Amino acid sequence: MDVRRFSTGLIAIPMALALVAATPSYSAEGKAAPAKKGRNVDSARKPSGPQVDAAATAQLADQLARYGDRNKDAIALIMAARLQAQVGVRDEKRQKASEGKPPADAGKAPAARDTSVSGLLARAKQYAGGRKDLIALADEAAKDKPRGAIPGPIRHVDRVNARTTDVYTVAFRGREPAVVLISGDGDTDLDLIVEDQYGNVICRSDGPSDDEGCRWTPAFTGDFRIKVRNLGNVWNQYRMLSN
């Protein structure tokens, strides 16, 4: 592997972490249903803390993994696996509803990636091309354990059909920071929308990619609707991270 490429990647990691941490949370009034208690967001409390940081690190790990797979870069996959292991990502299947109907001519996306630590390291060894130093790094990364006593972020892996929206109902505690981040497979544009139990739009993250994030502090404990909208013409496999 080109040493210059490896060094450039290491330099880029702090910058990437800063960019992920700075992903804006866009609040919008929208056409909301009448709210008996107002919008469930405490604007005076900044949504920050160890759990929010852990979710952002896990999203960065997924972005590195996607880069590593597309470029067959063993180092990127090893770094992704280490970050994911160290924050202690917890996989959990969430129930969802669906809005919209995919077009009849919707195409198919490539086969789903294995985003587990073991899956990432297995592919890193494959991309290592027999290099013993890289294989040793992958074996060492397999020994990593979660750091600290803070529970790691919850990760749900799913696919959203073309031109449709996946909808989840998730409860968050009042006066505690809440975070929801998504990372897609890179094939389509995804938007992330969070509504409170009254239909008020709390956050809308709708950039031109499929990496989106929402951070807010609920004013009181309640259910929120998390919407993952696919604007593309093929399905998208995404990872949703939350605290």
- Cα–Cα distance list, 211 to 191, 196, 235 (Å): 8, 22, 15
What are the structural domains of the chain? 3-242 (2.60.120.380)
Looking at residue 90, its amino acid is R
- Cα–Cα distance list, 179 to 5, 50, 112, 194, 224 (Å): 33, 11, 25, 10, 12
pLDDT of residue 155: 94
Cβ-contact 125, 141 below 8 angstroms: no
The backbone torsions φ and ψ at residue 22, rounded to the nearest 5 degrees and listed phi first, read: -95, 5
Q: Which residues of 10-27 are buried (b: 16+ CB within 10 A; e: fewer)?
A: eeeeeeeeeebbebebbb
Tell me how crowded residue 50 is: count the other CB atoms within 10 A of its CB.
Answer: 14
Q: Which residues contact 104 (CB under 8 A, 6 or more apart)?
A: none
Tell me how crowded residue 233 is: count the other CB atoms within 10 A of its CB.
Answer: 14
pLDDT of residue 112: 72
How many angstroms separate the CA atoms of 96 and 226, rounded?
Answer: 9
Q: What is the pLDDT along the chain (243 residues), one digit of tens a residue?
A: 333 333 334 434 444 444 343 343 333 333 334 444 688 999 888 898 889 999 999 999 999 999 999 999 999 999 999 999 999 999 999 999 888 888 777 666 566 778 899 999 999 999 999 999 999 999 999 999 888 667 889 999 999 999 999 999 999 999 999 999 999 999 999 999 999 999 999 999 999 999 999 999 999 999 999 999 999 999 999 999 999
Reduced to 3 states, what is the DSSP secondary structure of residue 108?
Answer: coil
C-alpha neighbours within 13 Å on the C-beta side of residue 217:
12
Asked whether the CA dihedral 100, 168, 68, 19 is positive or negative, the reply is: positive
Tell me how crowded residue 64 is: count the other CB atoms within 10 A of its CB.
Answer: 26
